[in-house]
A and B are shown apart, each in its own frame.
Chain A
């Protein structure tokens, strides 16, 4: 049977990039549909208005919005339409390469325990905790592949929670470190905990056809102008396109996956740059639009065999939506508290902090309760964006600050101190009250129902988040930081989402099988973070990349193996 392409990938971020890269490399024709524009290194500048205030990389919320529901203290749900309440924006980067263009690239592997949480710790009331249908050993080769193909820099050190590795160390040495890193190491030594270098998806030296990091001090939230950041675009799609077998169609909004009387997908319906309705067909379809939009696309794609949405015959699509749970904190390093030569170092902008603590990945602390899953504590610079930093200074003791008092406060904030932040990651418990459905009233500019995300959370997120954040705060205090605060929140970080189409062995409780192929639809795979049945306690990107490479191998096998290798042998 002839198709337009062997593989059609919907979404060009961390879930789509590895599929395009690996399938094209194995000799198959690939088309990638991306709703956003194709920006390159020549379009990315350190421009706070562009990235973070006027939101140049995400759709206009008046035309394409979401609905979110958050739990009220008195019970019930508060509904917000993001077209009006723009602070709940669920878009994270709709450009070629997706939101991986704007990540910080704090890269963590999951650990073996993440794959068997239910059998290790037992059930948690009110949470849908499960074991994964694959083990760490199944994913390990692909974590390694990501280190080499995307480019991960770091340094392996011996510590009690180091996950098993098939190679001794990272292919790229750590990125240049800030003076603060040494202060963290000393403080951790004092406290008897392990300060671990944090791997980054950032090239510390030129390689893979890309330049090294230029240490501008502005990384997360910004597109990378050197190509050092391992975005799906810079690290994977550029190579796939250069090889001649991968075509990217930017400005292509997929509205539906059409299916036939057997339930299989027959074509993708999309709007091109000029809003013209078009279709593409392929042997295999891969959806990777980021969790909320992936579930929405399936729910919008009804068909004869899929009256409730594609791959949704057991009502599982959209369920168990996940975010990065956890806590946060910060502290202030006052220049005046340090000797003159140290002050200069602390003022330096550019080098990274790159420290993380894994000692509490499993919390075995009688004061806290039974042995349970904990998480990671990352140390990072305060984000440098000056407008947002200034904006946080306008709140005074009894009202808004303005006039000269506000100006003096800005001077103190910007001139007198460096700030260090804690980002603590715990598992976002999968719960019935965190899911994606279609909204019944709001539609986008193509008249398709928008996604509604109910954002309920489990109290365990708060407990573990507080625990981890307060451990991080102890480190900040031991460093000599002032104004140390730490806290946890039930509010999800909207840029770190997963779940909604969990994989599993039982079709009644999962959308995908262990290969991330739909139980219901034989030619549909999902490779963004949607497959994750539990969140793991670290940012998702490395796991999404690794899993997508794993699924790519399954698809290559299904299509008949590596075409180029079989020719040459």
Chain B
């Protein structure tokens, strides 16, 4: 997808993103950096961004999915050659399911819905759809990865997640050249 366009659509709620987006690495070793197709359309990325924002909203005193770069985290997972293809399909199918459900309930795309309507769509997925709960659970888990993993991986910018939760990280922390996929 067009990265610049993507930046535009997410920058509205994310003052913290601009400084760190340029250096977002893929998870895999450089040789595998094919910048492969992530399999989602621009519109679907907007959907996913809206879902993550709903699951973990931005607040003045507490970072949300946007501040911790959760949507980029998902983009890297989907572009990573090391991610299992079955898992990628599961992640993409969930995004499609969100818009289908939004359209079924409100005849709109998810990103075009009000807060309460978004809540209703996601609760409907959780309660009534096979895989719906598992997909939402996985989205929250990925938000937590972006929130609480070492900043060297591109999420948790300036340790914003650790600071918020008063979490003391272990030491020594991994330097760039010792990220797990380079070991």
Contact = CB atoms under 8 A, between A and B. Distances in A.
Contacts of A406: 55-56, 140
Interface stretch (B10-18, B31-39, B101-109, B173-181): B173-181
Interface string A388-412: 0011001000011011101100110
A56 B183 contact: yes
Interface string B150-173: 100100000001101111111111
Q: Which of A214, A217, A218, A410 has the most CB of B within 10 A?
A: A410
Contact of B148 (A62, A216, A386): A386
A402 B140 contact: yes
Contacts of A214: 171
Interface stretch (A2-10, A46-54, A244-252, A434-442): A46-54
Contacts of A400: 126, 133, 136-137, 140
Contacts of A415: 165-166
Contacts of A349: 168
Contact of A43 (B27, B140, B178): B178
A389 to B, nearest CB: 8
A199 B178 CA distance: 32
A410 B165 CA distance: 7
A49 B54 contact: no
Nearest to B54: A403
Contacts of A54: 27, 180-181
Contacts, number: 113
Given A45-B173, A48-B149, A217-B168, A391 B141 contact: yes
B56 A50 contact: no
Nearest to A37: B183
Interface string A220-261: 001001000000000000000000000000000000000000
B183 A39 contact: yes
A411 B57 contact: no
Given A53-B145, A54-B27, A400-B140, A411 B62 contact: yes
A446 interface: no
Interface in A370-392: 384, 386-387, 390-391
Contacts of B183: 37, 39, 43, 50, 56
A121 interface: no
Given A390-B147, A394-B137, A404-B57, A50 B180 contact: yes
Nearest to A411: B165
A218 B180 contact: no
A49 to B, nearest CB: 5
B166 to A, nearest CB: 5
A338 interface: no
A414 interface: yes
B71 to A, nearest CB: 16
A384 B122 CA distance: 31
Interface in A152-205: none
B123 interface: yes
A440 to B, nearest CB: 24
A387 B133 CA distance: 19
Contacts of B6: none
A218 B170 CA distance: 6
Nearest to A398: B127
B170 A49 contact: no
B84 interface: yes
Contacts of A53: 145, 149
Contact of B145 (A387, A399, A402, A411): A387
A349 B171 CA distance: 11
Nearest to B149: A49
A62 B82 CA distance: 11
Interface in A33-79: 37, 39, 43, 45-50, 53-54, 56, 62
A419 B27 CA distance: 32
B149 A402 contact: no
B59 interface: yes
Given A45-B173, A48-B149, A402-B140, A386 B165 contact: yes
Contacts of A50: 174, 179-180, 183
Given A46-B173, A47-B174, A386-B148, A399 B56 contact: no
A404 B150 CA distance: 24
Contacts of A391: 140-141, 144
29 contacts: A43-B183, A46-B170, A46-B172, A47-B174, A48-B150, A49-B150, A49-B153, A50-B183, A53-B149, A56-B180, A56-B181, A56-B183, A214-B171, A216-B171, A217-B170, A384-B168, A386-B148, A386-B167, A387-B141, A387-B149, A394-B137, A399-B127, A402-B136, A403-B54, A404-B59, A406-B56, A407-B56, A411-B164, A414-B165
Given A48-B148, A394-B140, 8 more contacts: A46-B172, A47-B174, A47-B180, A387-B144, A399-B127, A400-B140, A402-B56, A403-B54
Interface of B: 27, 54-57, 59, 62, 84, 119, 122-123, 126-127, 133, 136-137, 140-141, 144-145, 147-150, 153, 161-162, 164-175, 178-181, 183
Interface of A: 37, 39, 43, 45-50, 53-54, 56, 62, 214, 216-218, 222, 225, 349, 384, 386-387, 390-391, 394, 399-400, 402-404, 406-407, 410-411, 414-415
List the 7 closest A-B pairs by CB distance, nearest first.
A46-B170, A218-B170, A50-B180, A414-B165, A45-B174, A56-B180, A386-B148
